[in-house]
Amino acid sequence: MFFRNQTGVALLAVIFFLVVMAFVGVIFISLSSNNMTQSVNEVYSSRALYIAEGGLERAGRYLLKREGSPPCTTCTCASINTSTSFNGAVPAFTASGSGQFTVTSVFNNNLAPTSLFALTDNVTTTIPATAANLSVSGYASFGRIMIDKEMIDYTALGQGAGVCGGGAPSCFVGAVRGADGTAPAQHVIGTSVAQTQCLLTSTGGVPTIGAGTNQRVVSQADVVQNGWAVGNTAGGITPPRMFLWDGSSWADRTAVAPGGIGNLTSVSMLSPADGWAVSGSASGRFIRWNGVNWSSFPLPAARPLNSIYMNASNDGWAVGNPGGVAAQQPLIYYWDGTTWSLRKTGLPAINRNLNSVYCNSNSLPVNCWAVGNAGGVAAQRPLILYWNGASWGPRNSLLGISSNLNSVYCNSNLVPVTCWAVGNTAGGAPANERPFILYWNGATWARQNSLLGIPRNLNSVYCNSNLVPVTCWAVGNPGGGGQRPLILYWNGATWSLRNSVRNFAGTAVTINLPLRSVSCVTSNDCWAVGSPGGAGQRPLVLHWNGTDWIIETLNSQNTILNSVYLIGPKRPNIAWREVPQ
C-alpha cells in the first residue's frame, strides 16, 4: 500500500515537472520571439536611419551641383520638393524593396530680416532679436545666422524674457560663436540678422516609407551662397548694373538700384542682409542694401568713389579721387553707423587718387590699408596709406618706383597679418606698363613680380587666407590682340600665369578682355568679372571650379562689371540632428 502511494506521488511530481517545463518553454519561446522581433526592429530602425542619412547626402550633392561646370541652375533648394530623385527614392546602397527615403526642403531667406535687440558681446550664447516670433519671420528652427561678418550656429529659437532675458521678445538659443572660421565679434543694436540656408528633412523607411513601417527622420541645414556684382553700362555711366548671386544663378537686379547713381565701382557685403556699394561718377554716391532694397546716401562733397570696405554695420571706409587742386588731400570717408564723414587727419597734402581700401577686421583696434596712384613725376612712389586705429599716415618710403596700385588685400587670419597690393608701373604709354605686385610681411613692403616683363595691368587681388599655405588670385588686363585675360595664381611660394579659360564643354577659349575684380568663397570656388568685347556683347564673367576657369553667360548686354563680392561658407553642411518621432 505504501508502495502504491509512493508511486502516485512520483507520478504527480513528474506531471508537475512536465507542466512547469512546458510553462517555462512557453515563456522562453515567447521571450525569444519578442527578442527576435525587437532585434529585427532594431536592425530595421538602424537601416532606416542610414537610409535617411543617405537622402541627406544625395540632397547635399544635388545642391553642390550649382557650383559645377556647367552649373545646374535648376538645382535649387525649392526644386528638391518636386524632384523624383527625392520622393520615395531607393538609395544606391540598397536593393529595391529594402528601404526608401523622401527629402523635403525649406529655403530660409529672410526678405525682411530681424535685427539685434541689444548690444551683443563676442561670447554670449543667446542672441536677442527684435522680431516678435522668429519662426513667423522665416528663420529655421536651427541652423546658422550671419551678423556683420560673423557666422553663428544656433540650436533653437526662443521667445519671451524667461528664455531670452533683458526684455528681448525673441532670441536664437545655444549659439556657437565664430562658426566656419569667422571671428567672434561685438555687434551693436539694430544690426541685421541674416539667414540664407536650405533646411533639409529626410525620412527613411524599411521596407518602405509607408505607414506602419520602421522610420527615422533626420534634418540638416545647408548654407546657401550670396553675393553681388556691380558696374555700369558700356559706353556710358548710366544706368548702373547690379547682379545678385543666389547660390545657383546670377540675376539682373538693376531695376532695384536707386535713381541718379551712375556707374558703380565697388561693392562690400557684411551679410546677405547688409552691404554697401559706391559710385565713381563725378557726384559720387553711397548705396546700401538692407536685404530688401538699395537706398541712396549722398556725399557731403561730390567726388568720385573707387572702393569701399565694411568691417561692421557701424564701421566702414571708402576712398576715391580728391579735387583738382594740387593741395588737396586723398579722399577718405568713414562710416560710424549713422553718417559718412571725411577723415583727413595725418593725410599728406597731395592730389592723388586712392583706388582700393582693405581692413583687418579681426584686429583691435581695426587697422586698414589704402592704395592708389603715383604722382605725375617719374620718381614718384605709389600711394600707400595706413590706418592704425587713430589716424592715417603714409607707408611708402621704401618704394622709389613710379607705379599705380589698384587693389589691396590682407590675410587677417594670419599672425602677423600679411597683405598683397597689385597694379602697374606708371610708364606712360600702355606698352611701357608692367604688372606691379607688392607684399607686406608684417613689417615692410617689398616688390614681388620680377617674373612678369609683359605690358599688362593688374586690377584686383583676393586671397584664401584660411588655407595653409595661403593661396591668392590676381586679375587684370590682357596684353593685346589674341591674348587671354591676365590671371595670376599664388601657390604660397610663387606667382604664375593661370589664364587658361574654357567653356562648359571643356574647349579652350581665347578672349582678349580685361578682368576688373575677383572674389572667392573657397579655394575651389571663385568668380572674376570684367568688360564685354564690344557693343551688344555680354560682360565677362569667369568661374573657378578648382580645376579650370569657366566662362559664364549673363543675360545682359553692354555691361561692364567693376566689382564682385561673394559670401558663403567654407563648409556648407553646418548642422545635423535626428527629429524625434
pLDDT tens-digit series, residues 428-468: 555 556 788 999 999 999 888 655 666 678 999 999 987 77
Q: How far is CA 32 from CA 18, 214, 555, in A?
A: 20, 21, 68
Q: Which of 418, 20, 59, 67 is nearest to 204 (CA)?
A: 59
- The pLDDT, as a whole number, for residue 409 is 97
Going by pLDDT thresholds of 50, 70 and 90, the confidence category of residue 504 is: confident
Q: Which of 8-12, 37-41, 205-209 is least confident?
A: 37-41
Q: How far is CA 170 from CA 129, 153, 191, 313, 509, in A?
A: 5, 16, 15, 21, 53
- The pLDDT, as a whole number, for residue 1 is 46
Q: Which of 313, 315, 320 is nearest to 262 (CA)?
A: 320
Are 357 and 368 contacting, i.e. CB atoms less than 8 angstroms apart?
yes
- The pLDDT, as a whole number, for residue 324 is 64
- CA dist 159 and 139 (Å) reads 13
Q: Which of 181-185, 296-300, 427-431, 458-462 is least confident?
A: 427-431
Query: Looking at the DSSP assignment, which residues form a beta bridge with residue 438?
Result: 421, 447
pLDDT at 482 over 80: no
Going by pLDDT thresholds of 50, 70 and 90, the confidence category of residue 2 is: very low
Q: What is the DSSP letter of 509?
A: E
- Matching residue, cell 551662397: 225
Tell me the residue type at 40. Answer: V
Global pTM reads 0.88
**pLDDT tens string 372-389:** 987 655 556 788 999 999
For 152, other C-beta atoms within 10 Å of its C-beta total 23
Going by pLDDT thresholds of 50, 70 and 90, the confidence category of residue 553 is: confident
Are 310 and 316 contacting, i.e. CB atoms less than 8 angstroms apart?
yes
Cell reading at 63: 545642391
- Residues with Cβ < 8 Å from 183, sequence gap 6 or more? 149, 150, 361, 362, 412
- The pLDDT, as a whole number, for residue 37 is 47
User: pLDDT higher for 217 or 20?
Assistant: 217
Q: What is the DSSP letter of 36?
A: H
Highest mean pLDDT, choosing among 41-45, 96-100, 558-562: 558-562
* Strand segments (E) across 161-195: 170-173, 176-179, 193-194
pLDDT at 151 over 60: yes
Per-residue pLDDT, averaged over 86-104, amounts to 75
Are 502 and 487 contacting, i.e. CB atoms less than 8 angstroms apart?
no
- CA dist 256 and 292 (Å) reads 9
Going by pLDDT thresholds of 50, 70 and 90, the confidence category of residue 192 is: very high
